[in-house]
Amino acid sequence: MSKLFIPGPIDVSKETYAAMCRPMIGHRGAEFEALYASTQPGLQEIAGTTRPVFLSTSSAWGVMEASLRNLCAKKVLNLCNGAFSDKWFDVAKKLGLEADKIQAEWGETIDPEAVRQKLEEGGFDLVTLIHNETSTGVMVDLEAIAKVVKSFPDVLLVVDTVSSFSAVPTPMDALGIDVLLAGVQKALALPPGLTIFACSEAAIERAKVQPNRGYYFDFIEFAKNAEKNNTPSTPSISHIFGLQHILEEIHKEGLEARFARHRSNNQLIHEWGARHGFENFAPEGHQSVSLTCFKTPESLDLSDFMKELKSKHGFVINGGYGKIKGLTFRISNMGNETTETMQELITAMDDVLG
């Protein structure tokens, strides 16, 4: 069986799988309410919020689209610098919303001053941002951009932390983020299928008067059910068992230690790349802490490298995404990885490179 070092889904521990295989319970009763409630302190600590953290049985895109449906009454500004942030703009247009974007080149960050200048044009009431653009390995300056958006009182900020949640600090309340969301298949190291998200009071108030929210992703329905430690619709209970286990493990390790481990593991990959002359696709100062995106040198047959790494050592890395597929390759260090497991990967990659 191969081990994944791709940007997601990532490797899931046998202990997490065991937790997910607990006997099934009903989702409209005291047992489930206790399970749901048990996830809240850990999720709130990681998110840096006192707000309830909702559990959505969906990919992150469900909540990303829902944020547009629930919160955009006038016009949305999408901050784009990679495949997934670009797609958010496309989704907004498909919903028939008024939308504009700031388009940075793939591999570049978002300039906070450009955000300020765009918002000063007026008419916007929502901004979408991907904190850690998984397709390019670029991590934007979340604090700086949030500060700019919050200087416009009627503009709400939605932040996708899919590949940064629990790998680096994402202090929702301190930064004034209105919706913070993350899929669980990346740094939380669970199988895909569950998304966590939290909404500010301002976001809930906006949603209350927004028509055409639908039902499945209605933020008001999530808020009402959260008061009873429950979900609007049938949840993936097995995922929540697994989430409970992961949160217990994070509590044992401590958040600061977890952040430090991700930084250290990430640095190991950066140092490995430097030894081989591989250039980081992301600019200095804006490089992801949970994965690394390298430019593929002309001298490297990337396809053969990846195939041999898998066939000889059982490790899987990713050969780039979207329009930079093949031009880049990505290596994840998020989730449960340790110095030892990262060194195993590095040794294997060195062996394949000869």
What pLDDT sits at residue 38?
Answer: 98
Judge whether 52 and 100 are in contact, CB under 8 Å: no
Domain count across the chain? 2
The band of 1, judged by pLDDT with boundaries at 50, 70 and 90, is: confident
Judge whether 77 and 89 are in contact, CB under 8 Å: no
Mean of the per-residue pLDDT values for the chain?
98
Answer yes or no: do 258 and 207 share one domain.
Answer: no
The answer to pTM > 0.85 is: yes
Answer yes or no: do 54 and 166 share one domain.
Answer: yes
Number of helices (H), then strands (E), belonging to the chain: the values are: 13, 13
CATH label of the domain that carries residue 240? 3.40.640.10
What pLDDT sits at residue 270?
Answer: 98
Q: What is the pLDDT of residues 180-225, one digit of tens each?
A: 999 999 999 999 999 999 999 999 999 999 999 999 999 999 999 9
Last residue of a domain, one of 251, 267, 283: 251
Answer yes or no: do 222 and 234 share one domain.
Answer: yes
Judge whether 185 and 11 are in contact, CB under 8 Å: no
Give the residue-averaged pLDDT of 54-61: 98
Q: What is the pLDDT of residues 148-167, one digit of tens each?
A: 999 999 999 999 999 999 99
Answer yes or no: do 106 and 159 share one domain.
Answer: yes
Residue 213 backbone dihedrals phi, psi, to 5 degrees: -75, -20
Judge whether 215 and 70 are in contact, CB under 8 Å: no
233 vs 27: CA distance, rounded Å: 9
Share of the chain above pLDDT 90, in %: 99
Instruction: Catalogue the long-range contacts made by 11-15 (C-beta closer than 8 Å, 24 or more residues apart).
Output: 11/189, 11/335, 11/336, 11/337, 12/189, 12/190, 12/191, 13/189, 13/336, 15/245, 15/249
Q: Which domain holds residue 271?
A: 3-9+254-353
144 vs 149: CA distance, rounded Å: 9
Answer yes or no: do 87 and 217 share one domain.
Answer: yes
Other residues' Cβ atoms within 10 Å of the Cβ of residue 44: 17
Q: What is the pLDDT of residues 64-104, one digit of tens each?
A: 999 999 999 999 999 999 999 999 999 999 999 999 999 99
Judge whether 141 and 131 are in contact, CB under 8 Å: no
Q: DSSP state, 322?
A: G
51 is in an annotated binding site: no
Query: Nearest 5°: CA angle at 148, between 196 and 223?
Result: 30
304 vs 322: CA distance, rounded Å: 20
Nearest Cα to Cα of residue 6 among 347, 276, 309: 309
3-state secondary structure of 221: helix
Residue 173 has pLDDT above 90, yes or no: yes
b/e 330-352 (16+ beta carbons within 10 angstroms → b): bbbbbbbbeeebbeebbebbeeb
- Pairing mode of beta strands 195-199, 179-183: antiparallel
Q: How far is CA 333 from the centre of its chain?
A: 14
Last residue of a domain, one of 251, 280, 307: 251
Last residue of a domain, one of 207, 231, 251: 251
CATH label of the domain that carries residue 344? 3.90.1150.10
Q: Token pair 């629930």 is at which residue?
A: 70
Share of the chain above pLDDT 70, in %: 100
What pLDDT sits at residue 189?
Answer: 98
What pLDDT sits at residue 186?
Answer: 97
